Structures are given as structure tokens and as C-alpha cells.
A = this chain, B = another copy of it.
């Protein structure tokens, strides 16, 4: 099935014109000192139709030095965790880049590049979005090749912009929410094992919990500094021994586990225990009752990241911005005043 696809020359030959004329007609360069007789235009379009000719994108990319492809890196975690924020982020990034003038193809690279070997085809893409993080080599590559990139929920190198949620402000709000409801004994359920190690959210939420609780003269309860493993053990320690009435959970998976364990142990939510977690709306859909949560604003994060990237692609000498997004409390059914 040799060369089943027609190319520009084929069209030109059949339409009895030169390749340039065909090219011009296709790229509508009519205003710019170029014109065609309607007759010729018609003829060319007819041949194109007949041959079902489509310009070869690879050749086009080569001449234009531009691929209109944007790569999303770190797809591994974007797809692994259930209900994490990256799905929302990704959807919103895609929406915007898609409908940008000219249109960009958003591509999620799923290949598990062996650690240490950067294999992003950096010279094949016009820009990149990094979800939380990528390998050092990859960052190196992006920087060297001057590929515009934005890190979402994480930080990059010198030339990269970033969009992160303001976890310090968020944790303050979470603590404040519970305190206002009347809670005095507030615990923190830290990030579960397997979560991105070293991610800034882990440190920031934890430290801010400690700082706020101390500032308010409340008791720091056990368990905040342990990796979250068994929700049942955690509840036994925190509720039975430490008499907590409220828990702030690192993420939605903690919250889910806690809710299930609470059911099992007969601890009613929110009567006996108030629960709040950091996540986005999407994650709470799998839970009932409706979880009170600190909204990480993943939709906004995606939108802002996409627009930053577009700016950077448009003007190469754009300043590298670091955007911090305010988190927002969504008050639902898992928090209330303590029983007593």
C-alpha cells in the first residue's frame, strides 16, 4: 500500500498549477499581495477534495518551526490517584489551550521515562505544563531549550512560571472554621504514604496547623506528625485517647478513609466528629455525607496556568510569574458545633 496519501505536488500536478499556488490558496494569503482567479481556486479546491489531501503536519512543523503541541508532564500521578485535583486542572487547561487563537493540541505524556533519563521531546513541543513536578533532567532540558513551561501546584526552575494554592492561608481558614464552630480539640491527619514526597503542601499545611493551634492556645493533638496509614488506628488514638472533636485532613483520600472507619466504629459525623479536608469539588462527589472542604480551586489553577503559558509562548521575554491562589471554604455536612 505504498504511498496512499497525496501530497502538495500531487495536487499541483493534477490542478495544473505550481505548488506555490496551491500552498497560497490553502493558507489564504489573499490580502498580502497575492490573488488567484476564482477559476483556478475552484479547480485546486476540487482536486484537494478528490484526493482528500491534507497537509503533512510534520513537514508543516518543520518549516514553521512550531508544532502547536503542548505537553503535559507528570501524567503518571494525574491519572493514578482517584479524584485528585489534576483531572480538573487538566480539563481546564485543555479547554483554554484548545480554543486559543490557532489552537494547541494538548498532549499528556504517559511514558514512564526511566529515572534519570530525560526523554521529553522538548524540541517537538511549543510549551509544557508540569503537574506538581518532573525529573531534574526534564527541568534541565526545558530550561536549556528555552521551552516555556508552567508548573501547577509546585515550583520549577529559573525560567518557569508556577501556580500554587495558598496552603498557609487555607489551613488558617480551616482552623478558624472549626474554632468558630466551638471546637477546642482539633487534630490533623497528615498526608498518606505514597503521596508525592517533599511536596510543599505537606510541609506548609502541617506547620501552619501547629502554628495556628499554638497561637490560639489550643492543644496540639497526637498523630499530626505521623504518616497516615490506618484510619481506624488513627481514629482510636485521636478520638478515644485525645478526645478530638474535629479533624483537618490533608486530602480527600484521608477523609474518605476516616469517614469509612468512623462508620465502622460508630462515630457519627458531624455529631461526634467534625471533618474537613483539602481537595476540590470533584473529589467530594464520591462521598456522602457531603464533605466540608477547603477548595483548592483547581479550575482556576488550570485556567491561570494555561493563560500564563499562552503569554509566555506569545512573548518570549515575558516575566516568570509565581501565582498563589486563595483557597476557599465550602461548608457542607461534615462539620458542625461539637455535641457537648
The interface of chain A, by Cβ under 8 A from chain B, is 1, 4-5, 52, 54, 56-59, 61-62, 67, 72, 75, 78-80, 82-83, 87, 90-91, 94-95, 97-98, 105-112, 121, 123-124, 144-146, 253, 256, 260-261, 263-264, 282, 285-288, 316
Establish whether residues A75 and B123, one from each chain, have CB atoms under 8 Å apart when the complex forms.
Answer: no
Chain B nearest CB, measured from A298 CB (Å):
13
Establish whether residues B112 and A98, one from each chain, have CB atoms under 8 Å apart when the complex forms.
Answer: yes
Partner of A124 from B57, B109, B146 at Cβ < 8 Å:
B57
Partner of A4 from B59, B61, B145, B285 at Cβ < 8 Å:
B145
Establish whether residues B98 and A57, one from each chain, have CB atoms under 8 Å apart when the complex forms.
Answer: no
Chain B nearest CB, measured from A313 CB (Å):
14
Within the assembled complex, what's the spacing in Å between the Cα atoms of A105 and B91? 21
Would you list 6 pairs from A and B whose C-beta atoms are within 8 A, ordered by A residue?
A: A52-B144, A58-B67, A75-B108, A79-B91, A91-B110, A105-B111
Within the assembled complex, what's the spacing in Å between the Cα atoms of A286 and B54? 46
Partner of A109 from B95, B106, B112 at Cβ < 8 Å:
B106
Partner of A5 from B62, B105, B145, B285 at Cβ < 8 Å:
B145
Partner of A54 from B83, B123, B288 at Cβ < 8 Å:
B123
Establish whether residues A94 and B110, one from each chain, have CB atoms under 8 Å apart when the complex forms.
Answer: yes
| Smallest CB gap from A125: residue in B | B57
| Smallest CB gap from A98: residue in B | B111
**Inside 8 A of A75's CB, which chain B residues have their CB?**
108
Establish whether residues B61 and A58, one from each chain, have CB atoms under 8 Å apart when the complex forms.
Answer: yes
| Smallest CB gap from A124: residue in B | B57
Establish whether residues A110 and B111, one from each chain, have CB atoms under 8 Å apart when the complex forms.
Answer: no
| Smallest CB gap from A263: residue in B | B263
Partner of A288 from B67, B82, B260 at Cβ < 8 Å:
B260
**Inside 8 A of A144's CB, which chain B residues have their CB?**
52
| Smallest CB gap from A86: residue in B | B79
Chain B nearest CB, measured from A169 CB (Å):
28
Chain B nearest CB, measured from A264 CB (Å):
7
**Inside 8 A of A4's CB, which chain B residues have their CB?**
145-146
Chain B nearest CB, measured from A260 CB (Å):
5
